[in-house]
Amino acid sequence: MMLFPRNNNLEWLRLFFAVQVLVEHAAIHIGAKLPDFIKHFPGVPAFFFVSGFLIYAAYLNAPGARYFHNRFLRLYPGLVFVTFGGLVVLVLANGWSVLIEHAAQIFIWFVAQTTIGQAYNPLLFRDVGVGVINGSLWTITVEILFYVCVPITVWLERRWRFAIMFLIIISFAIYCLAPHFFIRPIYREKNIYDVIALTPLVWGWMFGIGILAVKYFDVVSKYQKWLLLAILPLLVIIGSGGDGFLLGSIGNRLGLIYFICYVSIIVWLAFAVPYFRLPYDFSYGIYIWHMPVINALLIMKLESVSIAFLTTVILAAISWCFVERPMLKRKQISLKPL
């Protein structure tokens, strides 16, 4: 059973990560100048780390059917809701007739979006907004596959104590080498790396470091007040223009050393800073809704980062109040406090 303070700041940190992704994507697609430092604190790698931390603990506290039941309730209701939102974007772009003329293709896309095929993007959508209705959902595919991998990982580590470390090393090796070696096209413009980048094979080491953080939380907690010092090497790396698989500091492909510094600060903020409760959890809604909103604004010629932000927050609030929270009330508690 994992023991760490239930009263922690991970909820508002996830909100910060979601807003970072929203603002960066809005700036890229709508057009706005953002401070460079925002790119050095990407939301997706942070999400992967926190997910490894929480989901591993959740499985140990509630294994079996209850684990998958809880994961389903957290992920899929909001995902189905935003997929209907994607249909609205499609209608805005091409009119109601598109739903009839391309019914079969749209049905396949809908099923893909609400299972594990979120990266599927038919040609029909290539002229809508940025060219993909909800491209950010590729991380949902990775997340779902990670959910499936957690029970297997726990089974392995019960038979070999170094299993998690071994899996982290393998994943990090693939993360470093695959973009250079697995580049042969296999379907249209897609190559092998594009496919495995939708799996924990590439990103699993980030989840894995989150697993280690909760697995050895008793050790981490002894030194958590010192973790803020990781800001010093992190700033040095940023200032020196760090790059590569060790020092990379921009976007999703962070270097190992930079990532460890980054998540050390996340742990400090989560557990060493006084607890601040969020009454509403809009982080998931903001993340899954921001790209449909950006696409809709591009279609309607309302290219404003402020409007994108406000609209996304409103839709996230609707998703939380009327879709996510009612379903989450059906969850069984899987994380126990100290």
For the cut 60, the answer to whether the pLDDT of residue 2 exceeds it is no
263-270 average pLDDT score: 98
pLDDT band at 337 (very low <50, low <70, confident <90, very high): very low
* Average pLDDT value for residue range 209-216: 96
Q: Give residue 188's pLDDT.
A: 72
Integer angstrom CA distances of residue 238 from 37, 214, 243:
9, 27, 9
Query: pLDDT at position 304, please?
Result: 93
pLDDT band at 3 (very low <50, low <70, confident <90, very high): low
Cα–Cα distance measured from residue 69 to residue 332, given in angstroms and rounded to the nearest whole number: 9
pLDDT band at 244; cut points 50, 70, 90: very high
Position 184 scores a pLDDT of: 85
With a cut of 80, say whether residue 1 has pLDDT above it: no
On whether residue 333 sits in a domain, the answer given is no
The tokens describing 135, both together, are 């491209």
Q: Rounded to the nearest 5 degrees, what angle is found at the Cα of 66, between the Cα atoms of 62 and 69?
A: 135
- Count up the domains in the chain and report the number: 1
Lookup: tokens for 40: 């050095």
Dihedral angle over CA of 284, 327, 310, 135, nearest 10: 40
Instruction: State yes or no: pLDDT of 273 exceeds 90.
Output: yes
Domain presence at residue 299: yes
Which domain range does residue 238 map to?
10-328
The reply to whether 3 falls in a domain is: no
> Residue 336 above 50 pLDDT?
no
Long-range contacts of 300-306 (CB under 8 A, 24+ apart): 300/92, 303/30, 303/31, 304/30, 305/23, 305/26, 305/27, 305/30, 305/32
Lowest mean pLDDT of 2-16, 43-57, 95-109, 299-313, name the range.
2-16
In a domain, 218, yes or no: yes
Average pLDDT, integer, range 124-134? 94
For residue 335, pLDDT over 70 is answered with: no
Tell me, yes or no, whether 337 lies in a domain.
no
- Quote the mean pLDDT of the chain: 93
Residue 69 is assigned to a structural domain of this protein: yes
Report residue 88 as tokens: 């609205």
Q: Using the predicted structure, report yes or no on whether residue 127 has a pLDDT greater than 50.
A: yes
Q: Is residue 114 part of a domain?
A: yes
Tens-digit pLDDT profile for residues 284-297 = 999 999 999 999 99
Alpha helices in 216-323 (DSSP H): 217-223, 231-239, 244-247, 256-271, 283-299, 305-319
How many angstroms separate the Cα of 195 from the Cα of each of 62, 112, 190, 254? Answer: 31, 15, 8, 20
In this structure, which long-range contacts are made by residues 153-159, counting pairs with CB atoms below 8 Å and at least 24 apart in sequence?
153/56, 153/211, 154/56, 154/59, 154/60, 154/63
- Which tens digit of pLDDT belongs to each residue from 138-186? 999 999 999 999 999 999 999 999 999 999 999 999 999 999 998 888 8
Single-letter code of the amino acid located at 205: W
Is 1 within a domain?
no
Reported as a pLDDT band with limits 50, 70 and 90, residue 338 is very low
Q: Lowest mean pLDDT of 172-181, 263-272, 325-334, name the range.
A: 325-334
| Total Cβ atoms within 10 A of residue 250 | 17
